[in-house]
Amino acid sequence: MTETATFDERDAASYHYWIEENIRFADLDPVGHVNNNAIGVYLETARVTLFADAAGEMYGGEHRGHTWVVARMEVDYLKEMHFPGKVRVGTRIEKLGNSSIVMRQAIFNGETLTGLARVVGVCFNMSERGSMPIPAPVRDGLVRLAGPVG
């Protein structure tokens, strides 16, 4: 597995790939802050968007038949977020293996860091129902968008 250099997970400049999401009223829990489930959705949207951008259209064309599954996910909830607002989710590759990837993600609400995540994803062959090597064009796209690795 190829690893990235050490980085400051709390510094927005450490992340190379970004998306922005609106905080929806439906994201709130009875306490009035963004629910942990919504935070998981923000993180998932960032990962899926990265994979789609890295592979062209992830679920079609040359790469039809494979997808990504989450093997492990750790989330640290650091600060509350409230409606209305926007969040930015940054993603960076920590390690890139033959069939797996370890990503670090950070959620910012304005300039405030509100959450950190570490996610292990596995490239998954839909017909064989198991892991598969990450296709070279997808690997190259991931490194280009969310690297550097090495």
The answer to whether 52 and 68 have CB atoms below 8 angstroms apart is: no
> Where do the structural domains in the chain lie, given as residue ranges?
2-146
105/66 Cα distance (integer angstroms):
23
- Say if residues 142 and 54 touch (Cβ distance below 8 Å): yes
Q: Name beta bridge partners: 24.
A: none
Task: Identify which of 111, 108, 57, 116 has the alpha carbon closest to the alpha carbon of residue 87.
Answer: 108
CB 96 within 8 A of CB 78: no
CATH 3.10.129.10 describes domain 2-146: yes
pLDDT attached to residue 56: 72
The pLDDT confidence band at residue 87, using thresholds 50, 70 and 90, is very high
Quote the pTM value.
0.89
> Residue 119 — very low, low, confident or very high, per pLDDT cuts 50/70/90?
very high
Q: Which residue has the higher pLDDT, 96 or 62?
A: 96
4-18, 22-36, 70-84, 118-132, range with the lowest pLDDT: 4-18
Q: Is 105 helix (H, G, I), strand (E, B) or coil?
A: strand
pLDDT digits (tens, 9 = 90+) for 20-46: 999 999 999 999 999 999 999 999 999
- Give residue 131's identity as a one-letter amino acid code: S
